[in-house]
Amino acid sequence: MRSDGPHLDTSGAVPAIEVRDLHKRYGSNEVLKGIDFHVDAGQVVCVIGPSGSGKSTLLRCVNRLEEPTSGEVLIEGVDICDPEVDLDAVRSRIGMVFQQFNLFPHLDVLKNLTLAQRSVRGRSKAEAVEVARRNLAKVGLADRESAYPAHLSGGQQQRVAIARALSMEPDMMLFDEPTSALDPELVGDVLAVMKDLASDGMTMMVVTHEMGFAREVGDKLVFMDGGVVVEEGVPSEVLSSPTHERTQAFLSKVL
């Protein structure tokens, strides 16, 4: 269960992601009501919870796509709300994959993967293409580099989006319901890619309704409801014997 105060693992290393007493309010609507949690380097943390519980807001606060109202977000020990922080540098270490794939529709797959590498990372075209091809191969789409997004299935588009994020060589990846927009038969390929990434040791925070993935791949499962972390723990234990009534009620609807 969660620890209070700054978290140090047994090796003394700082967590990849640490959130302390995070609050987020939109007007009078307090969406996050004091969230504490951490993701250690190499860990896969899955976040579940009902619609509207604040999962996306939390994920978006982690790379400051949303401005927290109060509290702290530390990325590899650096407080990203510090006005002195180089936000672009922090963000470049965090890959993000959304429910909607957000590919550039007017660019082919290879261009989708090389654009930010060149403009943000300053890579040469040859280097960017090499990195892109390596990551396309990783997601099983080496033969689709000339395709345009509209000519790919949703599952292929999401795998391109993952390859695009990986091409920036991030230290960690955030996923916000990456398979929720997909036809059921396309979900497995995307989850398989994410599982491979986890096996490679990627640090991952995954908002998902895929309980099988959470159980099999997750090191930790966090259940959110009403803007708070209600319960967290080893996925198989939380899923099979949740201790809180709210977790039990949610799981009885989705399992």
Binding interface with ligand ADP (CB under 6 A): 26, 29, 31, 49, 51-57
CB nearer to ligand ADP: pick between 141 and 205: 205
CB nearer to Mg ion: pick between 3 and 51: 51
54 makes contact, choosing from ligand ADP, Mg ion, none, with CB < 5 to 8 Å by partner type, with ligand ADP
Size of the site for Mg ion (CB under 5 A): 2
57 makes contact, choosing from Mg ion, ligand ADP, none, with CB < 5 to 8 Å by partner type, with ligand ADP
Give me the amino acid identity at 123: R
Beta-carbon contacts of residue 113 (< 8 Å; ≥ 6 apart): 128, 131, 132, 135, 136, 160, 163, 164, 167
CA distance to 149, 188, 192, 247, 255, per residue, from 167 (Å): 17, 22, 18, 37, 35
Sign of CA dihedral 51, 21, 86, 200: negative
CB nearer to Mg ion: pick between 162 and 207: 207
CB nearer to Mg ion: pick between 56 and 114: 56
SS (H, E, C) 236-253: HHHHHCCCCHHHHHHHHH
Minimum distance, C-beta of residue 51 to Mg ion, in the bound complex (Å): 7
Binding mask 40-79 for Mg ion (x = CB under 5 A): ---------------xx-----------------------
Minimum distance, C-beta of residue 60 to ligand ADP, in the bound complex (Å): 8
